[in-house]
Amino acid sequence: MNYYSRIIAFRKNRKGLYEVLLVKERVGGNVVLGFPGGTPEDTDATSLDTARRETFEETGLIFPKKPLMFFEAGKRDKLNHFYVFAEEAKLRIPILPTSDPKIKAVFWCRVVDIDLSKMKRSHRKALRKFLRKFLRKFKSPQV
């Protein structure tokens, strides 16, 4: 079974609205939006190790060892493991340019401003799943 490990990071912006961390990457001939992450390497002991390493390579951000939540999405032959982390606005860490030629941009985006038509299908589903869990857990924050 193939799987991808990804991080969904969220934070509150200065106006108190929630944003998520996105990468804009080239997949085939298309430029799409998604969450940072990728496939395991021999040095990764766990799926979370993969998500943290790939996210660092793509964004320069380091996340704590323990996620707030975990869930899976996708098809059986192409499963995505999603780890959710909070990034506090006061701890803004600059997003570094990546050496990965597929990554065109890394940015924080308000959920309501995401162009879902440009988002990978499995990531769109994961975003919806995350928001359902998130809204329940945090009592309907402004997104």
For residue 86, give the CATH number of its domain: 3.90.79.10
Q: Does the residue 94 lie in any domain? A: yes
Q: Does the residue 142 lie in any domain? A: no
Residue linked to tokens 């299908």: 121
Residue 142: the pLDDT is: 54
Q: Does the residue 132 lie in any domain? A: yes
Q: Does the residue 32 lie in any domain? A: yes
Retrieve residue 6's tokens.
């990804």
Domain count, the chain: 1
pTM of the model: 0.84
Q: Does the residue 109 lie in any domain? A: yes
- Residues of the chain where predicted confidence (pLDDT) is lower than 70: 1, 88-98, 135-143
Q: Does the residue 39 lie in any domain? A: yes
User: Domain containing 40: what range?
Assistant: 2-137
Residue linked to tokens 């985006």: 109
Retrieve residue 57's tokens.
């390579």
Q: Do the beta carbons of residue 117 and residue 105 sit within 8 Å? A: no
Q: Report the alpha-carbon distance of residue 80 to residue 138 in Å, rounded.
A: 24
Secondary structure letter of residue 102 according to DSSP:
T
Residue 1: the pLDDT is: 56
Q: How far is CA 29 from CA 25, 62, 92, 117, in A?
A: 10, 30, 33, 16
